Structure 1
Amino acid sequence: MKIYDNICLIHCCFFLFCGHTWILANMMARFLTFGRDALADTFYSVGVVMSLCQLLSILELFHIADGIEKARPLPRLVQVIERNLLLVMVIMLEDVQSKPVVCVQFFLWNVLDLLRYPHELLCVMDTPSFDMLWTRYTLWIPIYILSVVTEGVTLYQALPYFDSMGSYSIQLTVPVSAHIHLPIVLLVLLPALAAGKIICFSLLKERKQHLEKWNKKLKRK
């Protein structure tokens, strides 16, 4: 059963690694070819693959819950919720898709995942690398902070477009009609990005634990 679980985790990480590699390569090639003009249609060129990768990242929560992957559940949960909500609620808006901040957001997301998945693949295959360990837990933190800031900018820039849409009427299970004003929902989500602080503190603690564990392993040898 353990071998089967490891195979599932390897396939998931490898598929996501290939997906994010393709997205990042596509974005860089388009930017080098078209310059700043490539920023406007980033979503049209890589949006489908990016959305698929973010949906598949939900499987990581099940891997952690089943004990297949050893990671802290809260930071990964916050990250998955942030990204998927941003894709569904904001970036799917046609007026927001052409914003340069979407290109920056996709770039940071892909860099973060390309720092993480190689390290996880090596750990699953029992061939850990100190260089990958250091890179994953050191460079990941400042890039994640930039990503959270960019998410807040994206939400802020989307507010005028949601404001023009007004309120949505939702029929609940009880015979009551509820009206949700979307700009208010987004303003509530902005402070929620402060949860990134929790992830940063968690990553710093996790980094310290992993580096200490590696040093103890070297001393035993």
Structure 2
Amino acid sequence: MPLNSSIMAETLRPFVYWGQKNDHVSLKVDLRNVSNETVKLDDDSLSFMAVGHGVRGENLYNFEIEFYLPIDAKASQYRINERAVEFRLQKDVVGEVWPRLTYKPIKHPWLKIDFDKFAIEEDSDEKLDFEASENDLIKKFRNSSMKNVETKSLINFNYLFLYNLFQFVGFSYICGSMQYHYYKYGEDSKLNVFESVGSQLLCLQLIAFLEIFHSIFGIVKTKIIPTLFQVLGRNFILLIVVFDSYLQHVPALWLLILVWSFAEIMRYPYYMLQTIDREARFITWLRYSAWIILYPLGIFLEGTIILAGIPMYEMSKRFTLVLPNAYNFSFYFPWFLQIYLFSMVPAGYFQMNYMYKQRKKKLANFSLHSKKD
């Protein structure tokens, strides 16, 4: 039966029933006669949109789920039948018990437990008693989930929120200070920017090493490689600037610090809101859109500084080891800078490709105008 335009304009949530076993998570989307489906499944999330007959009749339904833990998307699959859409999501870690389906501890009215699909064997050879009443099972999972939620909420608010707030205030100060000095001293301020904000920038970027550990220990759900590239890359640029006075006065440094600051002023408020399970649509859009300009510009400016530093380190011989020495090892730092300069091309592509995929995922069904869930 064809849908009229007024029905198609309304987007609804279908009922989704979930369960799990030791090796996989199952989802059943309660839609019949599904057509025009769009499914985007990766290791961290699922996005679904389709026309079908659900709780509000024939309509357009969609939902997005960010998983509690990563899955193996390549080994996962789904099928469409006349009564429902069924997903079989392969767990990345077999035997890991999920206290809830979603990464954030938010209760969605359209997300239900499928009691027939829960069958978990614990390491102690004890089994959940599925002959117990549904209330007992709900209570068990609720208690397990609440312990995780309370612990995570405590870490999020008391540590992550304050960390992101500190970084946001720090980069806002740097950006404001640079604008003040430019207004007061004009073009001369660009040559002395490291004297004005260098110590503050060094402090913030050294503290940013914590973000690597946040990713390693699972405090945040961010992939480790992009975090390593950004933190180590920026600190390497600062290293060669700190040990060469000429590089502290090149005009490109002023613009690079400004680009870094703009990027972080947009990034950290987004993370602050994430820690308290809130979203400002404009901030989300900025977070996943501003990089389109800032990332290529930042890579170009970092390359400019490295290129300017090669002859300086050729003359100073700093960080260069020549034979003979106690280590019986030679290292020519300007050559390393040249290799690093060329490696920025694939590394930059990797970073921008990662952000492009993130943008597609986060803004796939995104609107700057608020929508009802």
Q: TM-score when scaled to structure 1?
A: 0.91
d(CA) in 1 for partners of 2:344, 2:293 = 15
Matches within 5 A, 1:83-162: 83-162=234-313
Identity across the alignment (%): 27
- d(CA) in 2 for partners of 1:192, 1:18: 32
Deviation at 1:22, TM superposition (A): 0.5
Deviation at 1:179, TM superposition (A): 2.4
Q: Deviations over 1:116-159 (max 9, x none)?
A: 00111011111111111111101123201100010000000111
Residue 206 of structure 1 is matched in structure 2 by: 358
Cα distance, 1:91 vs. partner? 4.4
Q: CA deviation at 1:3?
A: 2.5
Q: 2:363 aligns to what SS in structure 1?
A: helix
- Quote the residue 2:155 is aligned against: 5
Q: Tell whether the 8 Å contact from 1:170 to 1:179 is kept in structure 2 after alignment.
A: yes
Q: Which segment is superposed worse, 128-137 or 174-183? A: 174-183
Q: What is the CA–CA distance in structure 2 between the aligned matches of 1:158 and 1:35, rounded to whole Å? A: 25
- Give the match's secondary structure for 2:337: helix
Gaps of at least 5 residues in structure 1 are: none
Pairwise CA RMSD of aligned residues? 2.0
The CA deviation string for residues 33-90 of structure 1, in whole angstroms up to 9 with x for no partner, is 1110101110011000000100111111111222222222221210111100111123
Which of 316, 322, 339 is 1:165 aligned to?
316
Determine if contact 1:115/1:140 at 8 Å carries over to the other structure: no
CA distance in 1, matches of 2:296, 2:352: 8
Residue 115 of structure 2 corresponds to none
Aligned with 1:62 (options 207, 213, 221): 213
Greater RCO, CA 8 A, separation 6+: 1
**Count of paired positions:** 217
For the Cα contact (< 8 Å) 2:164–2:272, is it kept in 1? yes
C-alpha change, 1:213 and 1:75, in structure 2 (3 Å) is farther
Query: Counterpart of 2:349?
Result: 197
Structure 1 distance, partners of 2:189, 2:241, is 20
SS for the counterpart of 1:19 is helix
Which structure's residues are more often strand, by fraction?
2
Distance 1:162 1:125, change over 3 A: same
Quote the Cα distance in structure 2 between the aligned partners of 1:37 and 1:219: 49
- 1:210 Cα deviation after fit: 1.2
Deviation at 1:170, TM superposition (A): 7.8
**1:23 equivalent in alignment to 2:174:** yes
